[in-house]
Amino acid sequence: MWTLSAVACTIFMTLYASADFAERLNLKIAPSLEFRLTMVGVMVFNCLFCYVWEVYFIDGVLFAKVLPWYKERVRGPHLPFEHIDEELRSRAGWPPIGDCKNNEIKIGERTHSLQDVFPLSPCFVRKST
């Protein structure tokens, strides 16, 4: 809403030519209406160009295609969560879904049941026989 108000105010100040308005705001009014309309046209073109640049080039090309390629092929994992994410993606049995055959994981030297680690996960609930 504020953006529309600012745009409307700018267009009004560009197109409305009065001596009182120019004196109160200490503005110099352009001598011809043709020049003022050209400036409004440049403003509209600039707005459209910036929108297309942001939506299609920055978001569509750089963030959707170039940045993921750069992170995967050039930079590699850099932050700790990226290392963990890469490790989990490389495991065939992750995430555990349905009946899990691996009921135990090793943490350090001790063996813990996954029910101790993840007590609320339905995947790790043992079936009674």
pTM: 0.49
In angstroms, the CA 59 to CA 49 distance is 14
Cα–Cα nearest to 98, from 125, 119, 120, 129: 125
Structure tokens given for 76: 């590699």
For the chain (129 residues), the mean pLDDT of every run of 10, in chain order, is: 90 86 85 91 95 91 86 76 81 67 53 53 52
Q: Are 114 and 101 in contact (CB under 8 A)?
A: no
Task: Answer whether 97's CB lies under 8 Å from 123's CB.
Answer: yes
Cβ 40 vs Cβ 14: under 8 Å? yes
Q: Identify whether the C-beta of residue 116 lies closer than 8 Å to the C-beta of residue 104.
A: no
What pLDDT does 67 receive?
85
15: part of which helix (H) or strand (E)?
Answer: helix 2-15
Domain ranges of the chain: 2-90, 96-129
